[in-house]
Structure 1
Amino acid sequence: MQNLIKDGQRQDDLWTLIDDDAPLPAEGPVILPLALYQAQKAEWDASDRDLGVWLNDEQMAEDVTDSLDNLALIALRFPKFADGRGFSKARLLRERYGYSGELRAIGDFLPDQVFYMGRCGINAFACRTEDEASIALALLAPFSVRYQGGTDSTPLFEHR
């Protein structure tokens, strides 16, 4: 069973996540480190492959704004579960920069954080284990009413 949750359902992960020094597969969709993508941007944009990039904890949402139309996926790497910068990056990409593609959480996050990540605009979660994916899936929609606004809804007071 795959450990990817996308749009509230488990799915097979067709993407290959490329670490900084990993070899590239000959075909198929790839998630590249931002630095690798930027170093060969013209070649990647001219290719017919589905492309994604991943941002580490030090890279900013603004670093990809000139490429949003060419990227089918942006992965946000959480270096540790207590690091909240990915939440801010997701919100910026969705609300300020209008990114509508897949936003994927990768790295060290906890299943009980996925609900809040979803409120910030992350719609896919690469969980580390099958058990973690099952728990995260159950925790994605625990609340029927949300007072605060998010990228997925308006604040409750605006519903009057």
Structure 2
Amino acid sequence: MQTLLKLLVGLFDALVVLFMSVSRGLGLSYAELNILVYCGLVPLGWLGLVVLRQRRYKWLLLAGTLALVGFAWLLRQPGSTGQGFYNYNIRLLEQLGRTTGLGYVLVSLLMGVLIPAVAAGLLLLVPRRRALLLWAGLLALLLAYFWLGTRLA
């Protein structure tokens, strides 16, 4: 168990280093990159899985990419709620870590790696005719979380 914990902490540390390097390279703050990845790139990746299964929705991938670019632009604007939302996420993850006894690092990995991976797996496993509906449901949950975060930040 101790070895697994060390491995997970190492994974978390590696992800932080990667995010810091990418954020510097793109000229974004760590918080901006974090929000773009988890609220933009992850759902866009999920949509990519839907499009792989149903080509007729490829126009949605273009629309999603344009939305991501717009979202990135909004995050860079003065008065953006980006940093506040990021701070809200950190507080929430810390609270969940304390409440569950898992700690911040494990809860962060659960929310940031495992849950998105399970969602991707589900998108590949559901019947093709249900994949877009599942993606829309996942996106709605994420948007509700984002909306709540901006209100509580």
- Larger helix percent: 2
Flag whether TM exceeds 0.5 (same fold).
no
Q: Which has the higher contact order (CA 8 A, sep 6+)?
A: 2
Identify the TM-score tier after normalising by the shorter chain: under 0.3
More strand by share: 1
Give TM-score, length-normalised by structure 2.
Answer: 0.23
The TM-score, its normalising length taken from structure 1, stands at 0.23
